[in-house]
Structure 1
Amino acid sequence: MTKLSDAQMIILSRAAQNECRIALPLPDSMRGGAASKVVSAMLAKGFLEEADADMRKGEPVWRETGDGHGVTLIATDAGLSAIGIEPVGATDAPPEEAAPDTLAEPDAAPKVRTQREGTKQAKLIAMLRASEGATIEEIMAATNWAGHTIRGAMSGALKKKLGLEVTSEKTEERGRVYRIED
């Protein structure tokens, strides 16, 4: 089963309860950029699709197209399946049109993070890859970061996002020394 955020679960659950599978309105707590980010991710995964909104019937509008028309969000079969609901009957689209959306997700390559040169993070990585490693105080002097920022960068950006193995060792001369061993 696909892992969904709480917001995605709420949006798809609401859509499943609507006869036309309309995923609007979004939760009250979701506004602006947060709403755009969640909906964009769901559109990319094929859980939602955009459809022309019939404004005469009062269908909710996700965005206006600028020509007096609007677009609404509709939950797809893949979206309903992601929350464990088996779509009832066939949708308006024939099955051969729905199949490429469901097959495209597993083939999608994961995003590869690249390191930019000249950033404080690049400087941090270079200091940690040096054979002598670096202490928090040394990194603070080189990056002008606070100690908690450095520790957060090591555990979050380096370990979790970049997958680097950061080790530490306490020495008598320098105190705790951090390293990335390749």
Structure 2
Amino acid sequence: MTKLTETQTIILSAGAQRPENIALPLPKGLAGAAAKMAVTKMIEHGWLLEVDANLRRNEPLWRETGDGHGTTLVVTDAGLLAIGIEPVVVKTVIAIRAHAAKAAAPKLPIQRAGTKQAQIIAMMQRPRGATVAEMVKATGWLAHTVRASVSGALKKKLGLPITAEKVEGRGTVYRLA
């Protein structure tokens, strides 16, 4: 078994604590040729693996591939074993963290009675629904404010199932299913 340097130990230990065992960012002060040499040696030993970075999740980049993509560094199971950590333990901890994150789901906003938003909801719950003009008349809001309230606050934030339908003679009618 190869003895780890202090830098290698720091990189592997930090990566083992991060989601998906991502080894980046490297320790402060490790840059340029020294970083490339350390990482290359760790890849040769099988402790790190260079994989495509998921830019949607803002994963840190090790290097750019030139085609609008990049790679990141991941600590392998061999890297975990090199610092004395069982890969099964790391995977269990990640699963527990993921479960805890799902359990702490955000609370939905509470709808207060007697507000203009409540008026709009009541109008859309009617069998015939409501048009923007009718909601403007009831609330005193401008048309763009009513439309923003329907699409932003009611559909996105409150998650209400609102449908829009063009009705001859009335225009677009909004209903709450």
TM-score w.r.t. structure 2 length? Answer: 0.49
Task: Return the structure number with greater helix share.
Answer: 2
TM-score by length of 1: 0.48
Q: Which has the larger radius of gyration?
A: 2
